[in-house]
Structure 1
Amino acid sequence: MRRLSLGSRLALLFAACTAVVSLIAGLLFSRASESHFLELDQQLLDSKLVALRSALQGAEDPTLFAERSAILRDEMNHQTDLALRVRGHDGSLWFDSASKLSADLPTSPGLHSLQSADIAYRVYSAPLDPERNDSPQLTLLLDITHHQHFLQRMQHLIWLTVGLSALATALLGAWAARSGLRPLRRMSEVAGGVSASSLTQRLPEGQMPAELAELAHAFNAMLARLDDSFQRLSAFSADIAHELRTPLSNLLTHTQVTLTRPRNLEDYREALHSNLEELQWMAQLVNDMLYLAKADHGLLTPHREPLQLSEEADLLLEFYAPLAEEAQISVNREGAAPISGDRSMLRRALSNLLDNALRFTPPLGQVQVRIVDRPRSVQLSIANTGNEIPEALLPRLFDRFYRADPARREGSSEHAGLGLAITQSIIRAHGGTIACESGNGWTRFVMELPKGSRGQP
């Protein structure tokens, strides 16, 4: 079965609520009207009872009552909707202006209802003299057929009102729901029009109802993330094609030149060595890409072990000491802190940052490694002097194949621009964060690593 739309559900819900409210209001009004008529009948019969007691005062035996029966009958003739039946204490019938009715009428004190043929009566029984046990019994019968007809018409009107109000509310509810759900249809249209070539569409958040503004904001944010991811993916595809084109072109050209004529063994050996260097670089690029792909899919799981960051940093500084000395760059380390992490992965991350710092530090510059031990985390920063990076470019430093500016680009294929992306993946795998700051002649990469063993993919 086809499921009902949200608009149809709202319309039916509005109709059901209106029908229930109308029905309850109608029933309450009907009960109130019936109670009101009952109260009026009680007052009327009470007043008639007082008048009858006054007129029949002292007529407690059949003889005295017979003398006043003519006056009583004349009084009853003037009350077409009122009838009277009088019985003695022994049950004998003294007077009856309701001869068409059954002889067995309610005799218990109080107000009762009676239906005879098509006529409804209100029956009221009371003694002629309440102070005497052998007093004759008066039974008043009031015709309330017009009351019943009114109540019946009102009940019919209630049901008609319930039906019409439910129908009207269903139609109005459908219109209101359709109008109210227009922003959702707009969202559906935008979602249906999203494709790789049209990720720039956005929902007008200012025109959305308050209930949908947050959803519209989240939807626009999702489109922005998709657009950014797609742009990055497109740029990445172009960059990797560009990075691989140069070594492949070199390999093809060098091989073709080598094969143009016969050569001696030493020339072939030299050509193979040259090709080997290009192939090794391409293999390293592919390995780095596979490493990043594992990180993207949460497959980069660190092997935790207790480490001293100061010791790891000193080992790497010792390895890079000849390069720093040759470039006349002073390198120093401050602070120490224990941490639980993967030794090889953290070494690779620190090595990438140190290599990056040494390459872009001018002669006579400085590289500083600073470790700060905090209660729940460890902060490690690697800073170097040199040209500052514009603030607008800082968020993109960790993109794959991205170079900040021409001053930071390499002319050869030795550095493909994946080091910072790999470093960020390693830090995130350890549950930490990394950011770059640049100003006042310094560029600083700051890592925040938790001391615990939990990481995030």
Structure 2
Amino acid sequence: MRRLSLSRRLALLFAACTAVVSLLAGVLFSRASEAHFIELDQQLLDGKLLALRSVLQDVSEAADFSRHQARLQDELSHQPDLQLRVSDANGRLWFDSAPSLPASLPDSTSLHSLNQAGSAYRIYSAALNPGQPDSAQLTLILDITHHQHFLQRMQHLIWLTVGLSALATALLGAWAARSGLRPLRRMSAVAAGVSANSLTQRLPQEQMPAELAELASTFNAMLARLEESFQRLSAFSADIAHELRTPLSNLLTHTQVTLTRPRTLEDYREALHSNLEELQWMAQLVNDMLYLAKADHGLLNPKREALELAQEIDMLLEFYAPLAEDAQVELTREGHAGFAGDRSMLRRALSNLLDNALRFTPAGGSIKVRINDSAQHLSLNIENSGEGIAQEALPRLFDRFYRADPARREGSSEHAGLGLAITQSIIRAHGGQIRCESATGWTRFVIELPK
């Protein structure tokens, strides 16, 4: 079964609400009108009762009644829709101007209704002389057929009004809903037109109603993220092709040259060693890319073991000491702290940062590792002297295959532009953050880890 559209649902809801409200208002008006007519009838009958008692005040038996019958007829003639029955205390009938009605009528002092032969009556009984046990009984009969016809016409009008108002509200509600939902259709059109070549489309937020402005803002933010991710993916694919093209070209060229003529065993051995180096480079690059793919899908699950960061850093500084000595760079470490993390993953991240610092620290410079342990947070600062990094390059340092100097082409996988991306993935897997700060003469990588 096909679901109703939102416009139709709103239109039906408007129509139902209008019908219910109209019906309730009509019922209340009908009840109020009926109560008002009852009140008017009661007042009329009370007034007529006083007049009849005045006319028949000296009547105590049937013989007395005959003398007042002419005055009684005259009084009744002033109210054509009023009829009267007079009987004694024993129920014997003295006077009856409504012979067509049943002989037995309610004799209580409260107002009663009676329907007879398509006509409606109000019946009201009272003693002629209140307080006298043998007083004659008066039964006033008021024809209210015209009242009932009015109430019936009003009920028909109420039902007609309910139906017409529901129909009119449904039509107006459908038009209003369709007009009000036009921004949603515009959003749907933009979403339908989104493709790899049209991610730059945005919804005009200033033209949206207040209720949809936030949704439009969220939709535009989603498109911006998709555009950025697609651009990064396109750049990543191009970077992968570029990084693999050079070693593949080297392998093909070197292999083709080797096979152009017969060579000695030593020449073949040398060619295979050269190819092996290129293949190892490519294998390491692929492994790094797979590592980053696991990080993107949250598949890096670091072990949690108690580490003394000062000891781990000292071991890395000892490993890089010969290289630093050859480059005339001073390595120092300050502070200490304990941390629960994965030893191998943290060593890889810190090793990437130290290797990066060594490559860009000039002779006579220094690399300082500072451990700051406070009650609020734990941080590692790896700072090196040398030429600073341009401010516009800082936000992209951790992008894959990004190099601040695009002309630089290193010969190992650690220098393919993936080292900082891997470092960031490792730090984030431990629940921390990493950022870079740089100015003229120094560069600092700041790692913040959870306590």
Write the letter of the residue equivalent to 2:442: W
Count of aligned positions: 450
For 2:132 and 2:388, how far apart are their aligned partners in 1? 119
For 1:371 and 1:61, how far apart are their aligned partners in 2? 124
Write the letter of the residue equivalent to 1:314: D
Q: Which runs of 5+ in 1 are unaligned?
A: 452-457
How far 1:286 sits from its partner (Å)?
A: 0.8
For 2:437 and 2:210, how far apart are their aligned partners in 1? 39
How far 1:440 sits from its partner (Å)?
A: 4.7
Q: Deviation per CA, 1:79-134, whole angstroms, max 9, x where unpaired? A: 21111111111111111111111111110111111111111111111111112122
Write the letter of the residue equivalent to 1:326: D
For 1:300 and 1:362, how far apart are their aligned partners in 2? 35
For 1:327 and 1:16, how far apart are their aligned partners in 2? 84
Write the letter of the residue equivalent to 1:143: D
Write the letter of the residue equivalent to 2:116: S
Please state if 1:183 is matched with 2:199. no
For 2:303 and 2:340, how far apart are their aligned partners in 1? 9
User: Normalising by the residue count of structure 1, what TM-score does the alignment of the two structures yield?
Assistant: 0.96
For 2:38 and 2:440, how far apart are their aligned partners in 1? 95
Give the 5 Å matches for 1:319-358: 319-358=319-358
Write the letter of the residue equivalent to 2:18: T
How far 1:406 sits from its partner (Å)?
A: 4.5
Work out the percentage of aligned pairs sharing the same amino acid: 76
SS of residue in 1 equivalent to 2:111: strand
Partner of 1:102: 102
How far 1:411 sits from its partner (Å)?
A: 4.5
Partner of 1:160: 160
Please state if 1:255 is matched with 2:255. yes
Further displaced range: 198-207 or 159-168? 198-207
For 1:410 and 1:250, how far apart are their aligned partners in 2? 15
Further displaced range: 23-32 or 320-329? 320-329
For 1:58 and 1:329, how far apart are their aligned partners in 2? 138
Partner of 1:40: 40
How far 1:390 sits from its partner (Å)?
A: 2.5
For 2:130 and 2:317, how far apart are their aligned partners in 1? 120
How far 1:389 sits from its partner (Å)?
A: 2.0
Give the 5 Å matches for 1:358-369: 358-369=358-369
Write the letter of the residue equivalent to 1:253: T
For 1:402 and 1:279, how far apart are their aligned partners in 2? 22
For 2:108 and 2:440, how far apart are their aligned partners in 1? 108
**Does the aligned pair in 2 maintain the 1:310–1:337 contact within 8 Å?**
yes
Give the 5 Å matches for 1:54-69: 54-69=54-69
**Does the aligned pair in 1 maintain the 2:329–2:367 contact within 8 Å?**
yes
For 2:284 and 2:55, how far apart are their aligned partners in 1? 125
**Does the aligned pair in 1 maintain the 2:410–2:416 contact within 8 Å?**
no
**Does the aligned pair in 2 maintain the 1:14–1:169 contact within 8 Å?**
yes
Write the letter of the residue equivalent to 2:386: G
**Does the aligned pair in 2 maintain the 1:76–1:97 contact within 8 Å?**
no
Write the letter of the residue equivalent to 1:264: T
Further displaced range: 153-162 or 290-299? 290-299
For 1:340 and 1:209, how far apart are their aligned partners in 2? 51
SS of residue in 1 equivalent to 2:17: helix
For 1:413 and 1:306, how far apart are their aligned partners in 2? 33
Partner of 2:378: 378
Partner of 1:204: 204
SS of residue in 2 equivalent to 1:83: strand
How far 1:230 sits from its partner (Å)?
A: 0.6
Please state if 1:174 is matched with 2:187. no
For 2:391 and 2:234, how far apart are their aligned partners in 1? 24
For 2:133 and 2:352, how far apart are their aligned partners in 1? 118
How far 1:78 sits from its partner (Å)?
A: 3.0
Q: Deviation per CA, 1:275-331, whole angstroms, max 9, x where unpaired? A: 111111111101111111111122111121110111111111111111112222222
How far 1:405 sits from its partner (Å)?
A: 2.9
SS of residue in 2 equivalent to 1:244: helix
How far 1:413 sits from its partner (Å)?
A: 4.8
Write the letter of the residue equivalent to 2:108: S
SS of residue in 2 equivalent to 1:110: coil
CA 137–385 in structure 1, closer or farther in 2 if over 3 Å, else same: same
Further displaced range: 370-379 or 235-244? 370-379
Please state if 1:230 is matched with 2:230. yes
